Chains A and B, each alone.
Chain A
């Protein structure tokens, strides 16, 4: 009896510790974005000045928009291309298929620092150079394997007779894909899209290599700002991003019931 109670108590303590470990730094950061002192001095003094001055920081706002745009375009491109690639790998037998599938995994494991260097050299070689286009291309390349892996995993649970049944009823390839296969793999496509968005939006290393001073993404801009001297504006912009992305994640989880198959 007493033993069980102690274990229960320990369990609760552990959960609190875990959540604290995960969320305390974020909570402190969010709190400091409302603190008047730029040097984290206490006592806490409420202010929204940092949000106001964030509004004046054109460079940070421009970088934020760049990040959002690049992340959305990366998500769209890599989700469409990745899903198509997964379908092709699922449906067709062709020479070198095994090699191709094996080659999809290393980019996930190769350090971004090395990928970034390689891309920088490559983009200069082919004349694209640095800038937002280069960043976008780089992000798509980074995100694609994630989408393919996630969508392919979902396709493994697909019953091929469903496509055959649809064809026997007179559906052409396009109708089969749009009305039978795609609805089945949709949770995988959305999960892959979220991965792609996260890979792009979080991306620092590759973006850092490929950006030019005027044209950059939010993580690179934050890094540059911190190097010049830390301001609580960074806390403010980070807090906004956390709130927005957590809301997005919760909404998606609610609508698509991840992991649970009806």
Chain B
């Protein structure tokens, strides 16, 4: 087991900069998600760590040992591929045994280790099957067992749950997390699914156009995004754009929005505020007054989507549609077309420099 350090790694394919000076420290034993839209460089980064491809510049170290010029077969990593990449000509047990067998381990050791790995992923009885006789979830488990049976220093997962349906995906998320905790292996997980990144990982790195946009624990990125992109890519956010005032921003129509978290942007510069939909209070304005200092806007409900435990209101305000999520507490629901007051605390408002 070992941590992974990526320092100033760049990689170009022709004129395209797939990775641009990326540095991340993956702590030993942590579960790390690399999150980003397609083309953001997350898979390229994973392939550099795996050793399928070498960086043009920068350092990669696994367990303190420089590996940026070491080919994949000598890096002692475990990898799970998007489409599992199980060997179709081999049985499940032979698939799992492959890594030990190419190392020339004795047959008895291999058989015992393979059985242990299959038991760990709860497929102890299916060793004799061929991959095509398994369901998607089972193939996923075999791929995982095959990747960890060699006791790699780091486990790399390339969108491993992408091919599964929703219900199975949630099961596998829990399962994957359980196995990762059980063996305590440093895990780096590439995904474009923000929910998956939020629920599974200890830390998240958000990538965009080959650059690391923000990095930290999920709570920190969600509560204190450092850019409009981070705010909107990880979760939903209402974005207000205007000029920085020193304590918030002033919108083009003169309304001021106070923000007490986020970056410090010099007054007069372009800046944005991000507010999560569930942090906004929506009311007809007649009820109890908002606490002093709260941000307040008026608008009109354009649409309401009822989802059982909550409702999403779309509120039109000066050409902008704001999103508000209200828990179903039994309170009276607002009708479409109704004029409303939106209010939220400056503590829930994150100031970010303009994109």
Q: Which residues of A come within 8 Å of B, CB atoms? A: 159, 161-162, 164-172, 175, 179-180, 183-184, 262
1/0 per position for B89-111, CB-CB distance to A under 8 A?
10000000011001100000000
Does B87 belong to the interface (CB within 8 Å)? yes
Q: Determine which of B73, B76, B85, B103 lies in contact with A161 in the assembled complex, contact meaning CB atoms within 8 Å.
A: B85
Q: Determine which of B82, B89, B150 lies in contact with A169 in the assembled complex, contact meaning CB atoms within 8 Å.
A: B150
> DSSP class of A's interface residues: helix, strand, loop or mixed?
helix
The answer on a CB contact under 8 Å between B77 and A179 is no
Given A170-B73, A172-B73: A165 touches B102 (CB 8 Å cut-off): no
A-side contacts of B85, CB under 8 Å: 159, 161-162, 164-165
For the complex formed, measure the closest distance between the CB of A122 and the CB atoms of chain B, giving whole angstroms.
42
How far, in angstroms, from A180 to B131 measured CA to CA in the complex? 14
Closest to B74 in A: A170
How far, in angstroms, from A147 to B77 measured CA to CA in the complex? 37
Known: A171-B98, A179-B87. 17 other contacts (CB 8 A): A162-B85, A162-B87, A162-B88, A165-B79, A165-B81, A166-B87, A167-B71, A169-B73, A169-B98, A169-B146, A169-B150, A170-B76, A170-B102, A170-B103, A171-B102, A172-B73, A183-B89
The answer on a CB contact under 8 Å between A184 and B102 is no
How far, in angstroms, from A179 to B87 measured CA to CA in the complex? 9
A-side contacts of B73, CB under 8 Å: 167-172
A-side contacts of B89, CB under 8 Å: 183-184
For the complex formed, measure the closest distance between the CB of B100 and the CB atoms of chain A, giving whole angstroms.
9
Q: Which residues of B come within 8 Å of A, CB atoms? A: 50, 52, 71-74, 76-79, 81-83, 85-89, 98-99, 102-103, 132, 146-147, 150
For the complex formed, measure the closest distance between the CB of A159 and the CB atoms of chain B, giving whole angstroms.
7
A-side contacts of B71, CB under 8 Å: 167
Chain A CB count within 10 A is highest, among B71, B86, B98, B147, for: B98
The answer on a CB contact under 8 Å between A179 and B72 is no
How far, in angstroms, from A31 to B78 measured CA to CA in the complex? 66
A-side contacts of B79, CB under 8 Å: 164-165, 168
